[in-house]
Amino acid sequence: MSKKILAANFKTNHTRASTHEYVEALDSALQKMGYGSEVYIFPPATALDRFATQSDIRIGAQNAYPTVKGSFTGETGLEQLGEFGIETLLIGHSERRHILGETQEFIAQKYAWFKEQNFTIVYCIGEPLEVREAGDEAVRRYIVEQLEGIDTVYDRLILAYEPVWAIGTGKTATPDLIEATHTMIKNLSERPLLYGGSVKPANIAEILAVPGCDGALIGTASWEVESMLDMLSKVKGEK
Ligand code: 13P
């Protein structure tokens, strides 16, 4: 299998101590495996740190505010991320859009700001169930809106298609639906495109075999290091 990108979104799980244990275990296993593809880990903000890894594990932040520093209570700025050498950021996740109320306007502003800082940005898009049920054209329009204000040719952009109805529900999109949606998205941007939504050891090989799927963004099934390693071993990256 050609090089795939695997990313683990811890969401509001793991502590600082357990993140260290996880990254150490992952690092030594990846070295033994001779794993050569990109692996991203997005721990919660309290667990961000510099990790002494030998393999190519990249640590990213799940969220940050578009500022170097300042008065934005509860937020994390560039100075705080810089302390740990963090240069990767998740933007546009459906939980931030729908639970935390981030608007497309704010998301686009955040994207532009961190692009200026040359961050690698994993940018999430994906439709809720009612939009999917309204048909392909409704999905296309919804995704076009989620790309409004986003530089889709930015060379450090990685897109992640995560249908909201498949996140944390155990319901995975079928390979045919992933292929059709990825084909549509690839017409909007040629950057690498991950799939996310109930990816797990039992379905990852099938999902990554879908034409136009460049990797996976994994929530629940990434939280146990054994399960993450199981998935990584199934897509063993090329050196
Ligand atoms: P699950 O893998 O738990 O469905 O979560 C997907 C996700 O939201 C990753 O960002």
Query: In Å, how far are 31, 128, 134 from 165, measured between CA atoms?
Result: 36, 6, 14
Q: Is 219 in the pocket of ligand 1 (CB under 6 A)?
A: yes
Ligand 1: which atom is nearest the Cα of residue 170? 4
Give the closest residue (by CA) to ligand 1 atom 5: 219
The CA distance from 66 to 182, in Å, is: 29
Tell me the pLDDT of the chain (239 aa) as tens digits: 568 999 999 999 999 999 999 999 999 999 998 887 899 999 999 999 999 998 889 999 999 999 999 999 999 999 999 999 999 999 999 999 999 999 999 999 999 999 999 999 999 999 999 999 999 999 999 999 999 999 999 999 999 999 999 998 888 889 999 999 999 999 999 999 999 999 999 999 999 999 999 999 999 999 999 999 999 988 865 44
Ligand 1: which atom is nearest the Cα of residue 93? 10
Tell me how many domains the chain contains.
Answer: 1
**Residues 6 or more apart whose Cβ sits within 8 Å of residue 116:** none
Q: Is 126 in the pocket of ligand 1 (CB under 6 A)?
A: no
Q: 89 CA distance to ligand 1 centroid (A)?
A: 16
What is the CATH classification number for the domain harbouring 161?
3.20.20.70
What's the domain range around 141?
5-238
